[in-house]
Structures are given as C-alpha cells and as structure tokens.
Amino acid sequence: MTKPIPNDDADIGERIQKVLARGGVGSRREIERWITEGRIKINGATVTLGTRLKSGDYLQINDRVVHWEKFSVQPTRVLLYHKPTGEVVSRRDPEGRPVVFTQLPKLTASKWIAVGRLDINTSGLLLVTNNGELANRLMHPSTQVEREYAVRVLGEIPSEVIDRLKQGVDLEDGHAKFDDIRFYAGEGANKWYYVTVKEGRNRLVRRLWESQNVVVSRLIRVRYGPVVLPERLKTHSFYELDEKELTLLHEFAGMPYPDKPRKPENRNR
C-alpha cells in the first residue's frame, strides 16, 4: 500500500481538483471525492486533499495516466453554436452521424466541452467552452439555470393541460414541470409556445408534452441562462463571446474572470 504524499510544498503548483476541473475531467467536488477514495496518484503515491500538481508530476486516475499539462491556465473561450437537427452532441458517433465538434475551431492545448446537451432532433443554442470549471458550474443542478425553448406543437392545447404542465406531472424519472409556458403564435394546426425549465434531464421538454399526448413537431433552444441565441446566427455557425460578455457569464456562474482578453473568432455561414 502506498503512502500518501506529504504536502510540504503547498505553496508550489496548483490544487489537483482545480486543474482537473478546468480541463473538464469532473467537478471540483467529484475530484475531491476521488481523492478521498484513494483513486488519484502522483508519481505513484496516493494523494491527499490539498496536494498540488507541479511541473513534471506523473498523474494517474484509477491507475490510468492523465496528461494534465494540457489543462494549464489559458484564456477562457465560450462559443454560441447554432446546432441544426441531425447533428449529435458527441465527439464521435458509432452510427456515423455528423457531430457538432467537427464544426468548431480546433484547440491545441485543451478541448471543447459542451454545456449540457441537445438531442439529435433538437436545434438551437449550444454553449461550448474550453473551461471545464465554468461548464460544470453552468450545468450543476444546484445552479438552477433556466433553459428556454421555442416549441411547435400540433393542435389546440386546452388550458387545463397548460395548467397541469406548470403544476407538474410524474415522469418515469420523477416529478417535472415547466416553470413558464407562453403562447407565441399559430392560427392553423401548428401552434408555437415558449417554455422554460430549470433541469437538464434527457428529452425533458418533449417528454413533458408527450405526457399529455401532445405531439412536438419542432424544438429549438433559444436561451441558456443569460445567453440568448442571436437572431442572425445561422445553423452550423458559431459566435464567440467577447471579454465583456465573458465577464458577465462568469459573474452569473459565481466565478471570477481574470483572463486576458483575446480576439473572438466567429463564423456565420
């Protein structure tokens, strides 16, 4: 059994949980739990809470090598990507379907992390960032971030159904509700509504409507927290937040924004 690493050099390097959270390996809380469970080693020795990573350290999680140097401090970037239907929020797809990450600019020292997911049949706003800690803050259930969707449904929706969906219904994975439902437009068979939820459960918006036997024919995410899908941003295109917008997003997530400004990279086809 290996001995825990002493923490004599506490003033050198960065705490493990901070480095790994920044790289999107997990949240700080998750990584702290891994440390207490003895799942993380540096240079072959089990680490303790407070241990710091220093240049040249050999890091393992569950005995698998982690090249943590690529998670070094770098400017935070956040892209607003307009995902079309038919694309998968994944790095690769076994069925060969198109994936969103091939549409984004390449990173040399880190990777893009999707803030939440959109299923293949849902389009609209997808936030991606190279800052794992920011992504975790924006996705964590305790943050209660509002997600707003434009939904096209088939047929007239009785007021009692709207009331029921706002009060909450029981789904297979627990109680759920819309925090807000607003009628937008529609005079024929199709009607458009704006709905808001504060959870990221899989296909939650569709499943809520389907629980009332309502058919959803189109679903577009138009807002995630304070970030709104730009009207002129075409599908397959992205917009990069500038320094002022990044500062506001960090404030919303309860994080400082100490980065140096960089020129945003945007693409609108």
Catalytic residue of the set 9, 93, 119, 180 = 119
Measured at the alpha carbon of residue 29, what is the angle toward residues 25 and 33, in degrees to the nearest 5?
Answer: 90
Active-site annotation holds for 163: no
**Residue 143, token pair as written in the block:** 């943050």
CB 17 within 8 A of CB 28: yes
Q: Alpha carbon 26 to chain centroid distance?
A: 12
Residues ≥6 apart with Cβ < 8 Å to 213: none
Amino acid letter for position 105? P
CA 26 – CA 18 distance, rounded (Å): 10
Q: Which residues are part of the catalytic machinery?
A: 119
